[in-house]
Chain A
């Protein structure tokens, strides 16, 4: 198993290198930060711009290959991912951003999974009954409503609660209030900031898992092996719980592993709306600011997360499904 994972790991490292390099060439040939600099008032001379860019390692006079070699040498030898046109160091900013994204999404991903899968099982066991209809209709609604609108609605709800109570219980934007004293007040402040985005992302997210888990379980509820289990003397519900559930979880486990990276790297709506400056919004900003190094770094991050997700998917599948275990 370890050997297998190591093999997969090496494959993914090669893939990450290739996508990142391709991304760098695309960025370096289409993003021209020097042009933006020229729009400044007072307008700098082209020599000034080129000079300032050269100092930040973004020399516009070098060709794409030369810049790639320069950039790659920095990454490989010094783990230096370069600088932005505004002079910021990618490494420093990247760390902050990843940490913010992780904090924003981690709790909601876990909640989304647990609630989604649990509701899927619950609704499958009560197929076409009232509870199933309510839960599944909600999930489809969550699918249809665009995420930003759903986030706004949750924000409005939180504001409503604040107004009703007459006290600011929830913060609808931001990460924390600066200058809180350490200890209890800081924890309360953190919870007040976390609550709204976590609830919003969870409410929107679980629908997909609920629908998938319900569907896969229903596919297996009438499977021959469930009938065999009942013929052994298990009640229907016992047979489903012991035999159908694990089989139906195999495809869900795979999809989970693959959606996690998508949420991490692509949650820019949530980051923008709740004003948590994470990786997702950074990648969009990087492109509009013609920031070659930041754009490449976010792309590399996305690839790494995706590879981790894929390995996680392999791992999860082998864990629940003996048929794919490698000898």
Chain B
């Protein structure tokens, strides 16, 4: 951050004249700190839309010093990505961009597309969000890397370029880089493609590297790998990094400075520790409170930020956050507050008239009125005494892999789900976690399938798929079990009103009109929606509200068990918190059981009682959530947990993390023994004799044997609820897969 008082555009009248003077100096470049590689001053972006001019970015200022990392954080629609595209000059021609962007003192705004090409990909590079669509499908990876080199080094020889491309691929951790040059993007996994994107971005040793949500589309273990690659890339090139993300965990360990954006404006800026440990703007506090923590077992409700970000067609007349801020008073509506220095951090600024009062030990849960932790009547009953609502016994789903068009030959078997057994009791939340491809969704589909020809037994509310699976039993089963889907927009028919969506399951259940009407009103109130909105269509609701409609639809027939397939992964953190709190409340009030599938382990930890970790179709560890998360025994569970970034800069900087090598292997290549052996950090460090055991024998899922000391002390103590499938849970971890970021690199600025 610059050492000046940076000001936004909407300053109040009293400071306007001085602000203008400072502004002019900034634009002249006189006040920029010497050595700033990128200075942005009063950046404004306006788009013409059918409804009028959308003022998407409203006065962004920042300075980026060489080798430093700036994290830009905010919800979707806060203007983060538009800011980065404006700096790169990649916005559509219709966008109106004003202000000043200087790269090493040279003004970039107003340059023609051709003139900008001098800088793009050379001194200024960018990594985009979706690696699957960001590479041209019809060219080899090598061609695309070499193209980046050719554009800026026309004289470079072909051999030199090829050598450099191999070097880059090796740097971003792609095995056998020389051969992979000739591969096409579709032959790479998502994580690998993002590595290629990073290789392209750093090809010409950029001074500034902008990463726009580089890991949002990736699995946690792959996210950890890619963040590590970005870290290496920054070290190798010495580039300054702008890291754009909505995930406060991702930037906690990487960033030196943070800029929190809301409604197109920075609302709080400062060193990373100032923002995380001493937030002074209610929005920042809300964002931090909305994120569930994977490393803390203490049960407290999340902080939801009600409402939605403002529509930027009209310039806010007061604080843009005021409509959602629980602390807002009339004074907040009088003019938009400018960023003002905050006592404490030297460079800490917040745009809130109450920032002085928010320091110290103000608890975010009090400000945002987080609901009390709901208590279920089942909490007091021991688990063994509760009824079982769902039981799976040795369920398998194998897909034959065939070759040939006319004569199908079986060349292998994909064991998507391989012998799953677990049960869900009344009033509990059971979660399944794992990477994509581990078989989570197939498990859900097997449960929903409920057919007597299935391999293995599924018992739902006492009804087994083996006994009778005719339409009538199936209908009875459906009343016991309902599902909430990942994408709330795709799961609701856009031509059905909410009333019709909710009435459908009730009509199927044979209720009359009066009863249906009454039940729908009940449901709307239950999920926190206004009952008079029943005649609206799904597109008139926000994403969080749509997910609430999905939950109401699932609850319509009073099921005992609700299957939740990634219910919050498509939602912003602030909205996600509200939905999670709602799920928590419903479970307690209605005595529901949940079967939750999620890849976000923080959410899982927050909401569930028991958890199963899946890897390549098998459960590798299962048990009570706090036991598994606090004392993971299986190396895969340890790696998964280690991959989750924690929104706490100190923890992030110092902790040791396990970076798994490579992607989830194809289920075809599953080894005979332990599935995880190919990526296992313990296996890699084992002596050959012990490795043999892992490779030949399949470890069974067994309970933790209580230590002899504990047994001696309390012989009747029941075995703790934790089982895992590993021969050497206490084995040393392989040094190569452990990474600790050097504290010295991250000296606080």
Interface residues of A, Cβ cutoff 8 Å to B: 7, 223-225, 227-236, 242-243, 246-247, 250, 320-323
Contacts and interface: CB of A to CB of B under 8 A. Distances in A.
Contacts of B128: 224, 227-228, 231
11 contacts: A7-B405, A225-B133, A225-B137, A228-B135, A229-B147, A231-B121, A231-B128, A235-B114, A243-B139, A322-B138, A322-B140
A105 B135 CA distance: 40
B122 A233 contact: yes
B136 A225 contact: yes
B148 interface: yes
B90 interface: yes
A231 B184 contact: no
Contacts of B114: 235
A21 B386 CA distance: 70
Given A7-B405, A224-B128, A323-B184, A232 B137 contact: no
B704 interface: no
Contacts, number: 74
B130 A224 contact: yes
Lowest 5 A-B CB distances belong to which pairs?
A: A233-B121, A232-B121, A224-B133, A225-B136, A233-B151
B121 A246 contact: no
Contacts of A230: 90, 120
A26 B487 CA distance: 52
A321 B137 contact: yes
Nearest to B131: A224
Given A224-B130, A228-B197, A234 B137 contact: no
B113 A225 contact: no
A83 B137 CA distance: 53
Contacts of A229: 136, 147
A230 B134 CA distance: 11
Contacts of A322: 137-138, 140, 184, 186
Contacts of B586: none
Given A232-B147, A247-B137, A322-B140, 17 more contacts: A224-B130, A225-B136, A225-B137, A227-B134, A228-B134, A231-B88, A231-B120, A231-B201, A232-B200, A233-B117, A233-B119, A233-B152, A234-B117, A242-B147, A243-B136, A247-B136, A323-B186
Contacts of B184: 322-323
A130 to B, nearest CB: 17
A232 to B, nearest CB: 4
Among A225, A243, A250, residue most surrounded by chain B Cβ atoms (within 10 Å): A225
Nearest to A8: B405
B275 interface: no
A229 B88 CA distance: 12
B240 interface: no
B125 interface: yes
Contacts of B460: none
B134 A225 contact: yes
Contacts of A225: 133-137
A232 B134 contact: no
A322 B138 CA distance: 6
Contacts of B120: 230-233
B150 to A, nearest CB: 9
B125 A323 contact: no
Nearest to B113: A235
A53 B148 CA distance: 74
A236 B151 contact: no
A302 to B, nearest CB: 25
Among A7, A228, A247, residue most surrounded by chain B Cβ atoms (within 10 Å): A228
